[in-house]
Amino acid sequence: MSALPPETGLRLILGSASPRRRDLLAQIGLVPHEVRPPEIDETPARGELPRAYARRIALEKARAVSLDEGEVLLCADTTVALGRRIMGKPADAAEAARFLHLLSGRRHTVITAVAVRRGDRLWQREVETAVKMKRLSNPEVNAYLATGDWQGKAGGYAIQGPAGAFIPWINGSFTGVVGLPLAEAAGLLTAAGYPAYGENA
């Protein structure tokens, strides 16, 4: 979709309750005018592939938030994929442990889809990052689970937390793995007429 000209006075709405996404936006000088987390069903469709799932959820989030004139909405969805398997947020420590043992010693993909909406216009993009997790011992998994850092994290871990010690290598966007690929998000906001590096803040 074509870009809109820059416009001052627009208000940035973050369609996410994630403190990580707020922190990432702050890195480029953006403070949301308001946070409006949408409530949608994030259950994957039968046979849905990870990239298509992340794109669909980001777009559904963007469409679920009510906007006033002069507001620009930013939504995102982060999905961990092991091959064709979608690894969402674990329901409990047992599922988090299962995810970590599956990822142990293997490469996986983290997909973050970003959607920006202004009025009835949408801009959207997905960013894929390859991530290698070292081989984990049972004591390492148990110690990590005890931190509680796995809660609410796709795939059962967060690269910016204690699990960063498990990740020797990535190829792609670090901020995308954290939850919001900043270069791409800034580009989408700019396309929607919202100057992306703090000029509108």
Output the CA–CA distances (angstroms, integers) from residue 25 to 11, 95, 111, 116, 147, in the order listed.
14, 30, 18, 14, 26
68 φ/ψ sector (left φ>0, alpha ψ -120 to 50, else beta)? beta
Alpha helices in 72-153 (DSSP H): 93-103, 138-147
Cα gap 199→129, rounded to integer Å: 29
Q: What are the C-alpha distances in Å from 74 to residues 10, 26, 113? A: 13, 14, 11
Query: What is the set of active-site residues?
Result: 77
Q: What is the H or E stretch that residue 25 is in? A: helix 19-27
In angstroms, the CA 12 to CA 15 distance is: 10
Place of tokens 């059962």: 156
User: Hunting for tokens 């992340």 — which residue is that?
Assistant: 54
Please identify which residue in the block is written with the tokens 């983290």.
110
